[in-house]
Amino acid sequence: MIAKVEPLTPARALRGPFDYRIPGEMEEVDVGSMLVVPFGRRRLLGVVVDLADESELPSERLVEPLAALDRRVPKELVRLGLWAAEEYCSTPARGLALVLPPGAGIGALPRVGIRRVLTAAITDAGRAALCGTRIRLGGRQRAALDALADGPQTATRLNRAAGCGHSTLRSLEARGLVSLDQSEQRRRPALAAVGAPAGRAVEPTPAQRAALAAIEARMDERQPAGLLLHGVTGSGKTEVYLRAAAAALERGRSAIVLVPEIALTPQTAARFEERFGDTVAVLHSRLGAGERHDEWLRLRRGEARVCVGPRSAVFAPVADLGLIVIDEEHDASYKQEGDPRYDARRVAERRADQSGAVLVAGSATPRPESRLRLERLTLPSRVDSRPLPPVELVGSLGATGVLHARTLDALNAIGSRAEKAIVLLNRRGWSNFLSCRSCGRVWDCPECDVSLVLHRASGRLACHHCGHTETVPGACPDCGSVSLARHGAGTERLERELERAVAPLPVFRLDADAVTGRGAVAALLRRFDSAPAGVLVGTQMVAKGHDFPDVTLGVVVDADSTLRFPDFRAEERTFALVAQLAGRSGRGPRGGRVIVQALDPGARALQHAAAHDAEGFLSGELERRRALSYPPFSHLIRIVCSAREAGPEAAAAAEIRERIEEPRAMVLGPAPLFRRAGRERTQLLVKAVGDSAVRAAAVRAVRDAVDGVARSRSARGVSFSVDVDPQ
């Protein structure tokens, strides 16, 4: 038998698969098996992607694998990983790395295994030895038996309590004085629900029942189906997900539930675990290596049949997949930033097609792509029939501080009634930039063509692109002036203003600067949830999926700042951000209200968000995109060339443009980008109008052009990144 093996190496020039002859003692090798193979003078880890009876090469030229590991990737995931590599212009090795067991990656042998625990128990002979028989015992042996007299203990605890190691226990076992038992021990992730509990079953509304009936009907057909669950905030989408997962389990199938942020995973997983118990597993990158390994193995063995996690959980090794849920499907975090730059929403569609599963994409503010392509199920009202909160748009032009007078009045009322509020400003730090009032100098990042952001608490200026930091200056180095101006505001400054406005109520800040470390986000949200009153302020993290019934005020500061970005998705993002934050308010019996501060309160996206009119916004957005041939009516591919010195990257981009041979694709550029992390950058944008066949042809043309240029001598020192469906 011949195994076609794809080596897991970061070298883009090394493209397999390569043939290896499988010896008789490795007869269990199959597609998905992980092998250690010789490759020249190196030993590489590889994945079997296919089997054959013969090779194009003479049998005497084929070598045998050095070892077969006890880990195996499911066949359907091997196909999915190779598809992702092809779809997103990556390498097979990087595509397969997405589906490998935790601890096994590109260029490395697995380093994480099953945790085995040794437990010791005293025997009758051991008790007799303690009672003064003539059996001679060493000091550590007697200490071990004394400790075990109260009951069985693990070897680790015995070592701490009695100072005896494994050798002592083995000696006692050989003498028949103790019995030893070795078992697997699961490293279990900590789950902590935040906000209103949703795991306990509640009576569904008529709209929920109709949505569930449609989902179960598609599930019974065992044909792939894509459904959009379009429900207003607070309409009970989570209950639909829970009941849909229950329907999949009743049919003997599995489910994957995707959430947009790692921070939301414990909350969602806790709700599913409350409903389904230990059959729920969690997968995300912030788990410990051992926790990820054990959760992956539970899913692979079928011990867990529901997987909850962010985008990477779409590759969970579940068998007989029946349901994939994408919660808050509008969120851009479902797009991977590093190679391969996959979109978990599209990967989920592909996996549903492979498995005959039902895909349910849920959101109060769905993407135009989903609205156009998926069959829609609606939840038009909140589960308790409470109205959506009224939204007030106020103009911030001419305001003296960060907060408008109307906002300050509403916050004062919150303080007097001891209620809760959520305030969103999608910008970190204290001020946007620092300048000299005398000579006009602006402090810029030395590695990027952007200004540095002032972080007052740390006394640093920081670049939010490359991470460069420097001390806040006391004077201008150009003219010596000590008159320095701070421009704009971020969450750090807003936190200070809120502390003055709502004192003595506590203010909780949620952004990437304020909460660092494992479990910090969940801990902060628990403190806010348990506080009798207070204000939660932060970036877009505060608008994502939280359910706090006692929040009566929502505030969005500088709501139209995203409209000033040169991005055709700017209006979509602005609408979603405002509508999602508005949905956090008024979920309890006290009701609620929302205030949106903006330079242009009349902006279309803000007007639709204030009216809670998602359908009206989507209709207008689809008309605009159709007229301009933007997605979902076209497909985009972004190519970025970068180099340390200016020149080579622009030349490489120009050559790529010349090499793209696809008449149905329009190539825009080359166009310069701002310098980032010390590298000069130039980009091309490929726009292909048409169906999936046109998209596939454009991807092939781009991949061939980039590979051709990357191999040329003129492109030495140039790096290339290809982003299919850039966000």
Task: Write b or e for each residue in 527-560: b if 16 or more Cβ atoms lie within 10 A of its Cβ, otherwise e.
Answer: ebbebebbbbbbbbbbbbbbbbbbbbbbbbbbbb
Give the residue ranges of the chain where pLDDT is below 70: 13, 105-114, 133, 191-201
CATH of the domain at 412: 3.40.50.300
Find the CATH number of the domain harbouring 653: 3.30.70.600
E-state strands within 123-195:
153-154, 178-184
CB 615 within 8 A of CB 576: no
Q: Residue 18 pairs with which residues in a beta bridge? A: 5
User: Both 362 and 219 in a single domain?
Assistant: yes
CATH assignment at residue 156: 1.10.10
Residues 643 and 661 in one domain: yes
Same-domain check for residues 233 and 366: yes
- Within-domain flag for 297: yes
Amino acid in the structure at residue 116: R
- SS3 string, 561-583, reads HHHHCCCCCHHHHHHHHHHHHHC
pLDDT digits (tens, 9 = 90+) for 704-727: 999 999 989 889 999 999 999 999
With vertex at residue 88, the alpha carbon angle to CA 51 and CA 623, rounded to the nearest 5 degrees, is 135
| φ/ψ (deg, to 5) at 183 | -140, 160
Choosing from 149, 184, 219, the residue where a domain stops is 184
Measured distance CA(555)–CA(582) in Å, rounded: 8
pTM above 0.85, yes or no: yes
Tokens of 482: 């000590």
Residue 445 lies inside a defined structural domain of this protein = no
Contact between 636 and 711 (Cβ < 8 Å) = no
- Same domain? For 423 and 513 the reply is yes
Query: Are 41 and 60 in a shared domain?
Result: yes
User: Is the alpha carbon torsion for 524, 530, 531, 533 positive or negative?
Assistant: positive
Residue 78 sits in a domain whose CATH number is: 3.40.1440.60
Distances (CA, A) of 453 to 430, 431, 684: 7, 6, 29
Are 354 and 399 in the same domain?
no
Clarify whether residues 264 and 124 are in a common domain.
no
Give residue 594's domain range. 391-429+490-627
- Of 627, 650, 669, the last residue of a domain is 627
Strands 358-363 and 321-327: parallel
Within a 10 A sphere around the Cβ of 207, how many other Cβ atoms? 18
- Quick check: bond before 204 cis, omega within 30? no
Same domain, 363 and 401: no
Q: Which amino acid is at 621?
A: E
Q: With respect to residue 250, please indicate whether it lies within any of the assigned structural domains.
A: yes
Query: How far is Cα 686 from Cα 85, in angstroms, rounded to an integer?
Result: 19
Q: Is residue 541 part of a domain?
A: yes
Q: Give the span between the Cα atoms of 676 and 669, in whole angstroms.
A: 19
In a domain, 266, yes or no: yes
CA distance 537 to 560: 18
- What is the SS3 string spanning 292-335? HHHHHHHHHHCCCCEEEECHHHHHCCCCCEEEEEEECCCCHHHE
The answer to whether position 61 is within a domain reads yes
**533 and 647 belong to one structural domain:** no
CB distance 703 to 722 below 8 Å: yes
Residue 320 lies in a domain: yes
What is each CA distance from 193 to 265, 313, 435, 554, in whole angstroms? 9, 19, 44, 22
44 lies in the same domain as 158: no
Tell which of 627, 646, 675 closes a domain.
627
Whether residues 237 and 179 fall in one domain: no
528, amino acid identity: F
* 189 DSSP β-pair partners: none
**Cα–Cα distance between 303 and 297 in angstroms, integer?**
8
Q: Could you give the 3-state DSSP secondary structure of residue 506?
A: coil
Separation CA 77–CA 316 (nearest Å): 9
- Does 265 share its domain with 214? yes
250, containing H or E segment: helix 237-250
- Dihedrals phi, psi of 162, to nearest 5 degrees: -120, -5
Domain count for the chain: 5
Q: What is the model's pLDDT at position 110?
A: 61
**What pLDDT, on the 0 to 100 scale, is given for residue 203?**
87
**SS3 state of residue 534:** strand
**Packed helices 265-276 and 237-250: angle between N→C axes, nearest 10 degrees:** 50
Spatial separation of the C-alpha atoms in residues 527 and 510, rounded to whole Å: 12
Burial of 151 (0-12, 13-18, 19+ CB in 10 A): exposed
**pLDDT score, position 350:** 97
Nearest to 708 by CA among 669, 675, 664, 659: 659
Instruction: Give every strand in the sheet of 375-379, ordered side by side.
Output: 280-282, 306-309, 254-258, 321-327, 358-363, 225-231, 375-379
